[in-house]
Structure 1
Amino acid sequence: MRIILLGPPGAGKGTQSERIVERFRIPQLSTGDMLRAAVAAGTPVGLQAKSVMESGGLVPDAVVVGIVADRIEEPDAKRGFILDGFPRTVDQAIALDRMLTEKGLSLSTVVEFKVDEDALVGRIAKRAEETAARGQAVRKDDTPEVFKTRLAAYRRQTAPLSAYYEKTGMLRTVDGMKPIDAVTLEVMSVLEPHAEAAHS
């Protein structure tokens, strides 16, 4: 089962990923983690990424797709995987499709978390207040100002992915504003049929 999770920052993708990992025993692949691991391992793609990252540039799509391609060859990803934070753009989605096709694979589904952005900003502000009240350091990206910037970037770059995956018939949406357990139920009802298909 190969799935992509879409949704703005703070939509609850991380929480739901953990539950999907637990339920279906497939790894969650974060491009940030994969990039760091490839750089640390000194793989050819990792070395390419390292030089770009050191110069402060954005790692090109071809390199990121190469890192995903290497990672999904590992034994734990044989039964499937969750991609979170990738693809970020339609170009990356097209490159990912091409790479999977070359491997004789395809995506199972794309789950998008629909959320009310104003409510999200409120949710983040509340999280920052609670963190500060506990005397802990508030994450830099947990301030409403920074968060609004991240939301704007998401809308600009990643929101067009919804239309792309809708055209392919892959897109399924869930209501990300529901309580966490209710969101999990919705997510699982989307994924279960794909898990059964994979085992049959």
Structure 2
Amino acid sequence: MRIVLVGPPGAGKGTQAAFLAQNLAIPHISTGDLFRANISQGTELGKAAKAFMDAGNLVPDEVTIGMAKDRMEAPDAENGFLLDGFPRNVVQAEALDEVLKADGVKLDAVLDLEVPEDEVVKRIAGRRICRSDSAHVFHVSYNAPKQDGVCDKCGGELYQRGDDTEDTVRKRLEVYHSETEPIIDYYRAQGLVITISALGKVDEVTKKAMDALRREAA
């Protein structure tokens, strides 16, 4: 299957992508992995991406699209892939359609992980990270440390990352709503969108997603 995974920050896309890709025996292709692989390998696209990133600028769509195209055409993606973080806007979605059309294939589904906005804020703003090298992760609601502000495992100080504050999370959600969420309507017009609730335990969400994808493939 060829699948695009979408959802707001905090929906658990990375976690679900890994499990779904494993269950479906297809590669998990994330934007972050694409950037890291191309930069570490010194590809022309990687050099271009690094130059923009080093200058504090967003990587242009054409560079991201080029990386994704190369990865989707790799041998291990011949029978399918799961895209996570790409496309991030309608321009990239349209470019993806053109790439797939040129290769004589098409998307099978766009899996939309739905999470209420207040839950997204709760999930992200509640995270606390240990300052030690181990960087253990806790959550004030879901995995609270025995002593407030102290890591259970090593006694290190727990802190909230700057990009995990409520104000920052809400700004990230604004960007998601304005830039990425429109691709859901774009793909809904093609009859590709499957929306599931991403609330609940990780394995429960994975089961819901797999059941929905199997129904779509039947």
Q: Same fold (TM over 0.5)?
A: yes
1:137–1:26 CA distance, 2 compared to 1 (3 A): farther
| Alignment equivalent of 1:151, drawn from 168, 173, 183 | 173
- 1:166 pairs with 2:185: no
Contact in 2 for aligned 1:125/1:144 (Cα 8 Å): yes
Tell me the alpha carbon deviations over residues 77-135 of structure 1, each in whole angstroms, 9 at most, x when there is no partner. Answer: 22211111111111110011111111112111000011111122122233333374424
Relative contact order, CA 8 A, sep 6+: which one is greater?
A: 1
Q: Residues 131-150 of structure 1 correspond to what in structure 2 (within 5 A)? A: 132-134=149-151, 135-150=157-172
Structure 1's consecutive aligned runs of 4 or more residues displaced over 4 angstroms after TM superposition are 193-196
Match of 1:91 in 2: 91
Moved more, 53-62 or 81-90: 53-62
Separation in 1, partners of 2:31, 2:124: 23
SS at match of 1:68: helix
Separation in 2, partners of 1:121, 1:97: 33
Match of 1:102 in 2: 102
Identity %: 44
Letter in 2 for 1:140: G
| Alignment equivalent of 2:203, drawn from 181, 184, 194 | 181
Moved more, 46-55 or 155-164: 46-55
Match of 1:41 in 2: 41
Contact in 2 for aligned 1:65/1:99 (Cα 8 Å): no
Contact in 2 for aligned 1:9/1:151 (Cα 8 Å): yes
Match of 1:7 in 2: 7
Separation in 2, partners of 1:193, 1:78: 22
Tell me the alpha carbon deviations over residues 3-57 of structure 1, each in whole angstroms, 9 at most, x when there is no partner. Answer: 1111100112122112112212212111122122112222222232232223222
Letter in 2 for 1:83: L
Match of 1:122 in 2: 122
Contact in 1 for aligned 2:39/2:47 (Cα 8 Å): yes
**How many matched pairs?**
196
Letter in 2 for 1:147: V
- 1:75 pairs with 2:75: yes
TM-align CA RMSD: 2.0
In structure 2, the gaps of 5 or more residues are: 129-139, 152-156
Separation in 1, partners of 2:150, 2:77: 40
More helix by share: 1
Tell me the alpha carbon deviations over residues 126-174 of structure 1, each in whole angstroms, 9 at most, x when there is no partner. Answer: 3333374424443332222221111111111111111101001110100
Separation in 2, partners of 1:121, 1:70: 35
Separation in 2, partners of 1:192, 1:82: 15
Contact in 2 for aligned 1:45/1:67 (Cα 8 Å): yes
Letter in 2 for 1:146: T
Letter in 1 for 2:59: V
Letter in 2 for 1:46: G
SS at match of 1:107: coil
